[in-house]
Structure 1
Amino acid sequence: MEFSGGWDSRATLVDGRWVVRTPRRPEVEAQLLRETEVMPWLAARLPLPVPIPEVVTRTPLVVRHPLVPGEPLESPVAEHGRALGEFLLALHGTPAETAWDRGFPRAERTRDEREAADRRFRAEVLPLLPDSHRQRALNLLDAILRSPADTLVHGDLGPEHVLSAGEHLTGVIDFGDAHIGDRAIDLAWALFGTPAEFAGELSRTYGVTDALRTRALAWHRLGPWYEVLHGADIGDPEVAAEGLTGVLARLG
């Protein structure tokens, strides 16, 4: 049973206990192989279960990991916020030098990818915005380019990747975008896409500063820009239009 519509890989549940993943594109193979090498090491540092994949076959590439229990977080409460705050403290406390020595992408790659995305945002998304939003958009893009790249981050933290059962978190999944980047990217949804009681408890547990909150808001506002590009890349104008609606809504 296929149960993931991820952009990079296809995930299938086998025998009710194994998540089997295959790359959707050849360039994703290196990412999946990297996860088999780094996740066993990282899992030992974290207070919540995470996928620990292993190679099944290399040609074609197939990897699998035991199913992490729980359901995507739909109704965040304060206890969830505390647990996620503790998880992020542990993840972000991983020494960056050790993380890239283990195989996570280095800060230089992060900056290169930011600059490449920025060029596309300015060329493909910015012209779609009304004049009334143009300066705020430029300020946002400039702020993202100035953000640090000094912390091991999940890179795609949202409700579909945070699992729960009742008031307890049971795991965090999908580390395909993990890299050395700005810790604020992992706080974007957690602070600005969740109920106040969840965000408040996470903020207290993690120790969110005003500067960190400002950067997290910038990353939150940037999220739909990627959806616009994705819609263009797959030739789906509806996806691109939904992304543009999100861009305008978050710019305010």
Structure 2
Amino acid sequence: MLEFDLTSLKPIIVAHFPGLAPARFSLLPKGWHSTAVDVDNTWVFKFPRGADAEAALRTEASLLAALRPHVAMPVPELSLIEGPPLFSRHRKLKGEQLTAARYAHLPEAARRRLAAALARFYADLHALDEARMKAAGAAPLRPWRDADDIGRKIWPLLPASLRSYAERTLMAWQRLEPDPYGIIYGFFDGHGWNMAFDNEAQRLNGVYDFADSGLGQLHQDFIYSNFIARDLTSRVIADYERITGKLLDRERIALLTAVHRLWELAEVADDPTHIALMLRHVVEWAQD
């Protein structure tokens, strides 16, 4: 079985791309589906771990090929190398992850540029033809657990001070009507960990990781930037409304953000290594 470390992955890359033999190789932070190798800060090679991850990588490559000509935002251009093993190559989008701390130090002009770029990105994605994206492999998002199941999973993990908040949130979600704008193809992963942000130029150079993109409710696509800042999400919404003419429900987006964080906590309830992080996300949103 292939070991997902530099010792085993570098020879595979060099066998296909011998010109890279003298380059600098390093592992990128571990993703959910794949192990990624950075080569000279120029190329990224992704090696899927298992059959499900291989299918996800093929779908991501197909989706990116379908959407890339229609979005202003730079996104990766994935080339698949059949191997064996199967892996992908793309030119790296230069930049760092956009954290809440980095955003907090951005001046007003940089915040405006960032919000405008993200709003245009979402407008471009949401305008894509649903049938075309389905043909490229887009599928409905994996549904969240229902409210009762989330409640049961998270109850033992919540401090007493958050239990009434969680109950109110889940009850409000149960009463929520279907999205008035229906189903669109969207990114559904627009947090700062998937952004290539140029800190020196204070500009977004692109977004990546479309493995979780798919068909879902329009308002949900706006919840993930809240991991960076409420201020950013508010600006993106306002610019998106100006571009598209669609009026978004800010309370709905806030509620979906809260539910998403409770759902993520429920997802890791049996995995002690991730509980503290997901609980922190719940607490941060509840207290913000």
| TM-score between the two structures when normalised by the length of structure 1 | 0.82
Decide which of 250, 255, 260 is 1:223's aligned counterpart: 260
Q: Which residue of 1 aligns with 2:170?
A: 138
**Residue in 1 that maps onto 2:154:** 125
Name the count of aligned residue pairs: 244
Q: Cα deviation per residue 1:82-131 (whole Å; 9 max; x = unaligned)?
A: 1111111111111222211221114xxx3xx3155657524412454444
Please state how far the C-alpha of 1:155 moved relative to its aligned partner. Answer: 1.3
**Corresponding residue for residue 38 of structure 2:** 13
Q: Following superposition of structure 1 onto structure 2, how do residues 16-95 of structure 1 map, counting pairs within 5 Å?
A: 16-73=41-98, 74-75=102-103, 77-95=111-129
> Compared with structure 1, are the counterparts of its residues 194 and 32 closer, same or farther at alpha carbon in structure 2 (3 Å cutoff)?
same
For 1:167-207, what per-residue CA distance to the aligned partner results, in whole angstroms no more than 9, with x for missing partners? 322101110100010222221133574263x4454233201
In 1, the alpha carbon distance for the partners of 2:276 and 2:282 equals 10
Unaligned 5+ residue runs, structure 2? 1-25
TM-superposed deviation, 1:225: 3.0
Q: Quick one: which of 197, 216, 223 aligns to 1:164?
A: 197
Aligned partner (choices 239, 243, 265) of residue 205 of structure 1? 239
Q: CA deviation at 1:210?
A: 6.2
Moved more, 136-145 or 28-37: 136-145
Q: Any idea what SS the aligned residue of 1:114 has?
A: coil
Give me the whole-angstrom Cα distance separating, in 1, the residues matched to 2:207 and 2:176: 25
Q: Do the aligned residues in 1 keep the contact of 2:144 with 2:263 (CA within 8 Å)?
A: no
TM-fit CA distance, 1:248: 4.2
For 1:222, the aligned partner's letter is V
* Secondary structure of the structure 1 residue equivalent to 2:167: helix
Of the candidates 265, 272, 275, which is equivalent to residue 240 of structure 1? 275
Are 1:4 and 2:37 an aligned pair?
no
Matching residue's letter, 1:46: V
CA distance, structure 2, for counterparts of residue 20 and residue 195 of structure 1: 33
SS for the counterpart of 2:82 is strand
Q: Give the alignment's TM-score, normalised by structure 2.
A: 0.73
Identity %: 23
1:174 is aligned, of 197, 206, 209, to 209
Output the aligned Cα RMSD. 2.8
- Rg larger in 1 or in 2? 2
Q: What is the letter of the counterpart of residue 136 of structure 1?
A: R
Q: CA deviation at 1:247?
A: 2.4
User: 1:105 — aligned with what?
Assistant: 139
Q: Tell me by how many angstroms 1:34 deviates.
A: 0.8
- Is the 8 Å Cα contact of residues 262 and 282 (structure 2) preserved in structure 1? yes
1:162–1:122 distance in 2 versus 1, CA, 3 Å = same
- What is the deviation of 1:217? 1.1
* 1:5/1:118 CA distance change after superposition, 3 Å: farther
